[in-house]
Each structure stands twice: as structure tokens, then as C-alpha cells.
Amino acid sequence: MATAKKAAKKSAAKKPAKKPAAKKPAAKKSAAKKAAPKKTAAKKPAAKKSASKRKPNAAFMKAMTPSAVLANVIGSSPMPRTEVTKKIWDYIKKNKLQDSINRRLINADEKLRAVFGGKGKVSMFEMTKLVSNHLK
């Protein structure tokens, strides 16, 4: 680090001083200054986002009927996929089924093991895939 600074100082010191430019008549300088000033790019105002909330995708909001196995966990009434996921997470948190070390893993109890196809541990990303098999 220190050697880099010394090298930078030495290279700066070795550069020859610039020769002063020849003096131009005063009239030309004032004309050059009055020449077209540099134009800065005009910034366009950012597009305003609508104040209303984003509309949900219709496919997610369509009511789905859970299978009998999934109904044991979340209930048998038809509900959208978003609600199914929320209810499953409520069940997982209520029964403390989330792995204590790796929070992405879910330790299945007897009800969830039937939903997960017999698997004892499932990642939260794989869970949605397995649950979608139980929705019609």
C-alpha cells in the first residue's frame, strides 16, 4: 500500500511542467466564452406509480377445492392458493414444525406427511409444489 503511494508520488513528480499557452487576444477569449453554453441533458420526471395496490393475478385468486388429505390441515372450504399457503404456514407455526437450525425446512407431522407424499422433511420451496398436487 505504502509503495503504491510512493510510486504515484514519484510518477507525478517526474512529469514535466506544462508550458504556458501562448496568450491570445482578449477579444477572442470573450467571444469563446459567449459561444453556445454546454447544454445539460434535461431529466425527465420519473413515471408516477399508481397509488392503488397492485392487482393480484386472477389465477392465484381462483378458489380451489382442497383434497381430503389437505382438508385435514386447512379445512374443506374452497379458497385461493394464497389463502391455502397462509393456512399451511399458520399450521406449521402453531405446531412449531419449522426446523430450528435450518428455517427453510419443515418437519412434517402425521397430517403434513400425508400432504407431502410421505416425506419427513421438506423445504419451503418444495412445499408449494407438493401442496398444488392436492388442489383441484
pLDDT > 70? residue 110: yes
Q: Tell me how far apart the alpha carbons of residues 22 and 33 are, in angstroms, rounded to a whole number.
A: 18
Helix axes 81-94, 124-132, angle to 10 degrees: 130
Q: Which is more confident, 36 or 77? A: 77
pLDDT > 60? residue 128: yes
Domain ranges of the chain: 59-132
Q: Tell me how far apart the alpha carbons of residues 14 and 57 are, in angstroms, rounded to a whole number.
A: 67
Phi, psi of 100 (to 5 degrees): -75, -30
CATH class, domain 59-132, is mainly alpha
- Confidence label for 99 from pLDDT (cuts 50, 70 and 90): very high
The answer to whether residues 111 and 94 touch, using CB atoms and an 8 Å cutoff, is no
In the block, which residue shows the cell 409444489? 129
- Confidence label for 55 from pLDDT (cuts 50, 70 and 90): confident
Q: DSSP 3-state assignment of 43? A: coil
